[in-house]
Chains A and B, each alone.
Chain A
Amino acid sequence: MADIVIRAVRKTFDRGRVTAVDSVDLTVADGELFVLLGPSGCGKTTLLRMIAGLEAADRGTIMIGDREVTTLPPRKRDLAMVFQNYAVFPHLTVEQNIAFGLRMKGDAGATEIKEKVRQAAELVDLGGLLGRRPAQLSGGQQQRVAVARALAVSPAVLLMDEPLSNLDALLRLKFRSDLKRIVHELGTTVIYVTHDQVEALSLADRMAVMREGRIVQAGPPLEVYDHPASTFVGGFLGSPPMNFLPVAIDGAVSPGPRSPDAACPDDGPRAMVGPRGDSFPAPEAMRGWCGRELLAGIRGENMDVLSERAPGAVAGKVLVVEPLGAQTLVTVASEDTEVKVLTAPGYTAPPGRDVWLRPAPDKVRWYDPDSGAELTSP
């Protein structure tokens, strides 16, 4: 059990031409399940491998517990790792695989090792397969061996590199909840790397979103989901991704051309969409952006689909309706923007029908159209 403190860690490849990780600072608390999320090539795996000691950091420090481990070889870092392709030793039985770390440590007797292996195997439901070879196991079972091997050494830190990406969807769902339960029971500090935002949301105590070698946002998953710090995070996290509607903050409630220096009215600023003057209320804090063009970030589940014009609703045309079972995904063209809305199951509408989208005013987030950064106050 230990916390992890990473300071200004940097890693380049190809003699400095490619920056994989660019001065990352990160603190993971003891016992936390921390997820690193990002698209492929964002540096998340490189960061994980530096924590593991499989890659040397060019700069910066990595602390595990009270020890600086930046230059220590992997075996001296008191951690375990689950690899994307499982990396189960094919020439050893399941039992020998799980016992590998304990044997190498060398401070446990044969009976103690046997007992720990049994416990770890039980934890991941592998009890009956201890005598098998990896070649006789399915992918899901091999992944369980990899997890049991990591848990058997009771590591201070458990690193997981996209451990579910090679499993089929059903297994992934089962394994995800099992994994969350097991690591919380054990209280191990976990860093979990994935490109799958559903995995990140469902597993993480806290998470960080990475892009181009940097952490662009870190926090509890629902906070990140609710308040994406940038259009990148909003677009990457969530299915469907967050919608970004170009709006102008304005005082003019009536249709017609807007003047850039129009003052926001006393009854509050509004977000205007398109030339027809559809608008919805904006919070008082946006008053400072009166007359400016912004992006309104709205999650698909935070909009109502109305069949008639209503105050605070924006006109659009249905492009396609996709029933998803528990919800219906409606794609609506509003001005030049395609908006994805999640609505009740059973919703139907022919393509081309006029609809009005009404965002829940307190769920709208505001972004700078140039930098993509979230705006809160001027």
Chain B
Amino acid sequence: MRRAVLRYTGAALLAAWVLFPMYLLTIGAFSVQSAIYHYPRDILPSLSWGTMRFFLDSQGVPTALGRSVIVAAITAAASAALGIPAGYALARYRFRGRDAYRVTIVSTRAFPVVVLSIPLAVFALQWGSYDTVWAVAFMHTALTLPFVVLISSSVLTAVPADLEEAAQVFGCSRPAAFARVTLPLAIPGLAAAGGFALLMSYNEVFAASVLTLERPTLPAFVLNALTSSPEPYKYAAAWLLMVPTFVFIFFIRRYILGVGRAR
């Protein structure tokens, strides 16, 4: 009983620690612009679309947002196309170096991307892809791929192998067995993996800043404009970049928590 109280109190504090700034961000983004400069801040202000509209109508924001969406879509598609087969192999086959492979995938995330900034820019320039959505999407795919591989591997592990074997006995080839049995059962989890890649790309700022100049994605654009923009603009930008991600993660959390579970 006491332990339960302690646990829930801790959880509530932790949640408040994360959610209170989110709340301030939200009321900042959805109240009239002048309210932001008002102190003390109203906890329950009158809501307004003004700030958000002001941000979305700003010079360059709509195109940057569009570019972000395109980059995120390419990233999600590419990392799903590459990552799901790899996840399938990890889920279904026992092969030499399987564990090493898994660790290698995770450890790529430990690599500081910052030290890659100059080589990245140089490569992109050499390939003639600098300042294009393709260069950014390519780099984002590299960043999201480990997550897609691990999430889809855990999702596919959860689909019993004997279902696929039954499908093979009852007339399916291997690909058909995957398509008719495993895929329909795994599709929510695989969609979550793709969505995760989509949002990581949508939020990513570093590679996007390094690889673009004239045609940035939204985070890169906002980062550039940050010092020279008014407070309401920052609130609206931060809200638009953060909140969709939080909401999405909330809905797919069980797939991400499944990743660490050993087979």
Name A residues whose Cβ lies closer than 8 Å to a Cβ of B: 52-54, 73-75, 79-81, 83-85, 87, 89-91, 100-101, 103-105, 149, 153
Contact = CB atoms under 8 A, between A and B. Distances in A.
Contacts of B172: 75, 104
B155 to A, nearest CB: 15
Nearest to A105: B171
B93 to A, nearest CB: 13
A330 to B, nearest CB: 44
Contacts of B176: 104
Contacts of A75: 168-173
A89 B181 contact: yes
- Closest 6 A/B residue pairs (Cβ): A104-B171, A101-B170, A87-B166, A87-B162, A74-B168, A74-B169
15 contacts: A52-B165, A52-B169, A54-B169, A73-B168, A73-B174, A74-B168, A75-B169, A75-B171, A75-B172, A83-B166, A85-B162, A90-B185, A101-B171, A104-B170, A153-B171
Contacts of B163: 87, 89-90
A83 B171 CA distance: 16
Nearest to B162: A87
A11 B131 CA distance: 57
Contacts of B66: none
Q: Interface extent on B, as a size class?
A: 10 to 19
B119 interface: no
Most chain A Cβ neighbours within 10 Å, of B163, B167, B171:
B171
Interface string B42-66: 0000000000000000000000000
A83 B166 CA distance: 8
A87 B169 CA distance: 11
B6 to A, nearest CB: 37
For chain B, what secondary structure do more than half of its interface residues adopt (helix, strand, loop), or is it mixed? helix
A54 B168 contact: yes
Nearest to B183: A91
B171 A81 contact: no
B260 interface: no
Contacts of A84: 162
B79 to A, nearest CB: 25
Contacts of A100: 167, 170-171
Interface in B160-194: 160, 162-163, 165-174, 176, 181, 184-185
A87 B168 contact: no
A257 B181 CA distance: 73
Given A83-B162, A85-B160, A85-B162, A91 B184 contact: yes
A259 B169 CA distance: 64
Contacts of B173: 73, 75
A73 B167 CA distance: 12
A359 B110 CA distance: 75
B166 A81 contact: yes
Nearest to B165: A54
Contact of A81 (B169, B174, B181, B185): B169
Nearest to B96: A15
A53 B173 CA distance: 12
A103 B176 CA distance: 13
B185 A91 contact: yes
A65 to B, nearest CB: 17
Given A101-B170, A104-B170, A87 B185 contact: no
A89 B172 CA distance: 14
A153 B170 contact: yes
Nearest to B168: A74
Contacts of A53: 168-169
B158 to A, nearest CB: 11
Contacts of B184: 91
Contacts of A89: 163, 166-167, 181
Contacts of B170: 75, 80, 100-101, 104, 149, 153
B161 to A, nearest CB: 9
